[in-house]
Amino acid sequence: MNTEFVPSLIHFFGMMLLIVSFWMLAAPQIGASIRAYATHSFLLALITAFIALTNHVEHLLIPAFLTLALKTILIPQVFFRIIRRLGIRKEIESYVNIPFTLLLAVLLVFVSFYVTGEGKVLKSVSFGEFIPLAVSTIFFGMLMMTTRKKAINQVLGLLLIENGLFLMGVTITFGMPLLVEIGVFFDALVGVVIMGVFVFKIRGAFESIDADDMTVLKG
Amino acid sequence: MTIDHILWTPLAFAFLCLVPCPKRTTRLTFMAGAAVSAIGAWFFVFGNFSGPRIFAFKESLMMDALSAVFVLLIPSVGLLSAIYAGGYLFKEGETGIPPAKLRRYAFFFHLFLFTMLLTVLSNNLGVMWIAIEGTTLASSFLVNVDDKKSSIEAAWKYLILCSVGIALALFGVILVYYSAVEQVASGETGLLLNWSFLLAKAKYLDPQIIRLAFIFVLVGYGTKAGLAPFHAWLPDAHSQAPAPVSALLSGVLLSCATFGILRFHILTKVATDSAFSDTLLIVFGVLSVAIAVPFIMEQADYKRLLAYSSVEHMGLAAVGLGFGGTLGLYGAILHIVNHAFTKSLLFFTSGHLYYFFHSKEISKVKGIFRKNAFLGTIFFFGVLAIAGMPPFSVFFSEFCILSAGFLAKQFIPCAILLVLLALIFTGFLRQANRMTFGETEKTEMPAKSFLMDSVLVVGMIVIVVMGFYIPRPLQHLLQEASRVAGGVVS
């Protein structure tokens, strides 16, 4: 392969990754948010696969494939089933309106570039710009979890954090040992299924899936 | 018999419990499973376990003296809890829980025990992370058994908060792995996350990265261990779960998370050769004790009262680990053991209390002693024990921790702790006084099942005896464990 072409392609994917995470935050509907998550995971799988191929760390291809299979296809499907069965078509409700969320997100990107800047603490094994991207993905996930009202959005935020951590692992260490990586995927999948069950239970008991309706327990 | 047998037993019984059969049979499988796990673990630890470390599964699993203590603790509390649950949840009749749901409950109960055992037996820090996340997933269904609004809310909070916390801990694990990849010869990728390997090579790890990793792990596993200010899920989950599950959550789950922190603490201490992690543990520990004080003094719900007391005791254990020294580490580990038995006993009595008074509110509970002298006695002495009254075991370990603090010349945290502990003591005594004594209409209540009462008696005997006398093999194990916690590479 062309030595110039592949790195610039990976840079391009990195840019797309950031744009998609903005899309996820800005998406007006839950469906769009899930599609954004699927795209995010798809790009993550591509980036991982390219890093694996350019650096000849073939064992990294397995996590890349798992990201594709689980996070791009299976988990979004689970989500779509949940929202179909719950019959949600309403807009995403947020404590903070979307323009302001995006403003915060831009700030978070600056912060993540600042704190990780130029290998100050962490040195990457390849493509250093993914370190701040990973950190900002983690921040975006947290932003999503704290600002969204629907229980289901909180789960999406959690998954976004997970994606960020995965990218971080890939960038600084070529991913964790395979056994651990597979275990983490398994936990994520089981976690989504269990949280899905609980979203239904919340719906049944509270007649809504707004997390801020849950205020029975205090003190 | 090897280490993995200890793990297979609860896993096998988890699936056995799923077999569709009458309630009676499920109940038998459920209780037998816990008994077999416990007896197997005791025999293994006191029989086969001799060397400093035993490995299994390509060194991914390891048992050293430290994990041996927890391997004893988890199934023992699990057994008490299973016997209690056997009488509590499996009752026949119309008010009983449907059999399918009970089977699911039994399944998750054993799966929960399995994940906790895996946590303490894993040498690979990544596997440990997976296991701790597994404990959250397995126990979320146990927290919500009755599908009431409040239980669902508690379970949801528990799931979300702990998952986020654990995600941060994963970052810490990645950082440790990163520092190992950076500094240690590559080619050993399978070993690089192994705690025993990392500890041996700790001198080569980048101290700055390890410090950063410890912060993430402390926040992450600290959420699970109930350290303030990340404890928001804890009182909800503990108060909404059925009594036997609360006992497990408080007694051993929190201890498992503390165990995770401890493994990283040992590593950090050797790698950075500084008191960095000690200081953090002391600060968060004292904060946890301090935050518990107002909630214990002014609590309206007796299960939440016990839950906040767990925050306090996990804080104390963290402080003990932070003070360090042989005495501090020994005290902290002993405190974890003592707290596990005392607090699970109290949560079991809370199950009795709910049965007698049909309320979790302290104001509705008056004159336990007049209603049922047996329960009143157990409850009152249990409260005295958890508040740190001398003849009981918790006093002894608290004493060790505080003495270690004075030995380490940490006078300020010690002084603060003494004041806080005194406040908690009076708070507990005031609450328990109102509940135990006082007037109530003398209505004869049929006693709960013999099995459940005997669990209370056994728990009481354990905490009284442990206050005076710790059996020799156990004492030896605890001392070895505190040596491991001190970072001795043997």
Which of A135, A198, A199, A209 would you mutate first to test chain B, the one with the most B CBs within 10 A? A198
Q: Of A5 and B305, which is predicted with more confidence?
A: B305
- The pLDDT value given to residue B99: 83
- State whether residue A143 sits within 8 Å of chain B by CB: no
- Confirm or reject contact between B145 and chain A (CB < 8 A): no
How would you class A1 by CB atoms within 10 Å of its CB: exposed for 0-12, middle for 13-18, buried for 19 or more?
A: exposed
- Split into its structural domains, chain A has a count of 1
- pLDDT score of A87: 78
Cross-chain residue pair B127–A180, CB shorter than 8 Å: yes
Residue B58 domain-assigned? Answer: yes
Contact between B136 and B163 (Cβ < 8 Å): yes
| Beta-carbon count within 10 A of B294 CB | 13
Is residue A219 a part of any domain in this protein?
no
Name residue, tokens 């056995």. B16
Q: What's the gap in Å between the CA of B150 and the closest CA on chain A?
A: 6
In the chain, the amino acid numbered A206 is: F
Is residue A218 domain-resident? Answer: no
What are the pLDDT digits (tens) for B349-360? 999 898 888 888
Please give the span between the terminal C-alpha atoms of chain A, in angstroms, as a whole number.
62
Read off the pLDDT of each residue in B210-223 and give the average, rounded to a whole number: 95
Q: Which residues contact B17 (CB under 8 A, 6 or more apart)?
A: B26, B29, B30, B33, B103, B106, B107, B109, B110
Please give the structure tokens belonging to residue B357. 């008074």
Decide if A157 is inside a domain. Answer: yes
> pLDDT above 90 covers what percent of chain B?
66
Whole-angstrom CA distances from B375 to B84, B339, B345, B351, B445 are: 15, 20, 11, 11, 12
For residue B490, tell me if it sits in a domain: no
CA distance A101 to chain B (A): 20
Residue B447 pLDDT class (50, 70, 90 cuts): low
Partners of residue B192 in chain A, C-beta under 8 Å: 177
Q: What is the pLDDT of residues A115-170, one digit of tens each?
A: 886 656 677 777 777 888 999 999 999 999 888 878 888 899 999 999 999 999 98
Kindly state whether residue B386 falls inside one of the protein's structural domains.
yes
User: Tell me, what DSSP letter sits at residue A123?
Assistant: -
pLDDT at residue B318 in the model: 96
A182 and B CB contact within 8 Å: no
Using a pLDDT cut of 70, give the percent of chain A over it.
92
Q: Please, what is the average pLDDT of chain B?
A: 90
ipTM (interface pTM): 0.91
pLDDT band at B335 (very low <50, low <70, confident <90, very high): very high
Contact (CB<8Å) A217/B134: no
Considering only CA atoms, which of A168, A166, A184 is closest in space to residue A41? Answer: A166
Average pLDDT over residues B164-177: 93
Enumerate the residues of chain B whose CB falls inside 8 A of the CB of residue A162.
167
The answer to the question of residue B408 being in a domain is yes
Q: Do the chains contact at B150 and A216, CB–CB below 8 Å?
A: yes
- Please give the residue range of the domain that contains residue B87: 3-485
The whole model's pTM is what?
A: 0.94
Residue A219: pLDDT band with limits 50, 70, 90: low
Question: Which site among A126, A171, A176, A212 would you substitute to test the B interface, given the most B Cβ atoms closer than 10 Å to its Cβ?
Answer: A176
Give how many domains chain B has, as a whole number: 1
**Which residues span the domain enclosing A101?**
5-213
Distances (CA, A) of B130 to A84, A91, B124, B126, B138: 31, 35, 10, 6, 12
**What's the pLDDT band for B306 if we cut at 50, 70, 90?**
very high
Least confident stretch, A118-132, B65-79, B219-233 = A118-132
- Specify the pairing of strand B61-64 against strand B53-56: antiparallel
Lowest mean pLDDT among A91-95, A145-149, B225-229, B369-373: A91-95
Q: Which residue intervals of chain A are DSSP H helices? A: 5-26, 30-55, 61-66, 75-86, 98-116, 130-147, 151-173, 178-206
Q: How far is it, in rounded angstroms, from Cα A99 to Cα B305? A: 43
Residue A24 has pLDDT above 70, yes or no: yes
